Structure 1
Amino acid sequence: MKFRALCMLTLALATLCFAQEPPAEQPAAAKDNTWKLSINANGLLSLNTYSNNWTGGEAGSVSWAARLDAEAEKQLKAKLNTRNTLKLAFGQTKVQDADSKKWSAFEKSTDQIDIETMWRITLKGKVDPYAAVRYESQFLDLSDSMRDRYGNPINLTETVGGAARLVEKTRTTWLARLGAGARQLIDRDRLQEDLTRETDVTYDGGLEFLTELKA
């Protein structure tokens, strides 16, 4: 009789949600001047194994991933708002050979570093002028077979334009923005044709449209 053993473990390591709001008795002006903080962290671990009695062609696998999303927003002045966002993610996967049953080394499956600061002039109209600076990278760059590079490549973007809050409620916010920007792509210690290493910087620009819905 065929026997199949399948073991799957999915572990939500931590899901943290934190929102800081000012006390209800504070006046409206004081509420606008406090930091509104939001943090969400979670992790996932998945394990699949099959016994030697299982005659199918499947192979085992192990994967894990962790993610952190954080945001801090404050009304600095009556007509100046700032919002800072942080997004970090990293994960790895290893698989088992279906024939030899040997396990491979861990390979990267998820990798993200995304940090942005935006300043918005709040005119109480439909569209507010804004300026933003964004930093994007990854923890581990494996594109070079001869060297592992950390925090590479770096993508810097500076934009100015207009932002509109299409929906703004207690638990739901929908923000859309359109702007023009400049971008610098920095590739550190890149291997050149003469086998030397240099930092390459590429400049470009264009239009940027972003929309974000939080509920």
Structure 2
Amino acid sequence: MASSTPQIKPYIAIPEEIKVPLDQMDQVIETFPDKYAVVWIAGKFYQSTNHETRTEPVKRRRITQHSWYKTFFCHRGGEKEITGPRKTITSKKRPRQKASKKIGCPAGMRITCYKKDLDNVVFTFKNQHNHAVGTKEDFCLLPVSKATKEFIRQKLREGHDCKEVQRQLNSYVRNNITVENSDEHSQQEVFHRDQISDPNLVYNQYKKMKEAALL
């Protein structure tokens, strides 16, 4: 396998603050699931105005430091959806297929562009997650990395069937694990979402490519 193939590395802790060029903001947001094991959902966008009004005298008016900022919330924020009973012939309820990812996580992220530095943005974070970020129990609610999905698509483009791609994927995951300290980690240890086998992953990618006429 080519040395340029991205390797699977353990997740790392999110820094308290991240400053990046404005034109790289979207790319950085996309790295969070693969790098930090967190998915952020976009919230509201706020932009300062030149004509802010308040009831206090002008000399006490608050000076706005930001040009704009945007809020984000954890994908496990909010409450699970509760629906009323379905109108069916029988009163027997259908059992829940899987646990809800919505557990009211209070964690949030804010991206701010300051007036004094319009070419950069600052990522800041508030509140702690109420779930174990980066653990095996939390993996089922994270997306598979883009590198692994691209690996699957490439093998499908080469003409391999889904069963063969799944076999190669399992081998790829086993052989592309990077551990900085082998004394602390074993290659059998599960520390990344991509190590969790998903029997539908290859077929789902195949179906998407088929619908997009890429196969």
The higher relative CO (CA closer than 8 Å, separation ≥ 6) is in 2
* TM-score bin, normalised by smaller chain: under 0.3
Q: Which has the higher helix share?
A: 2
Return the TM-score normalized by structure 1: 0.25
TM-score with structure 2 setting the length:
0.25
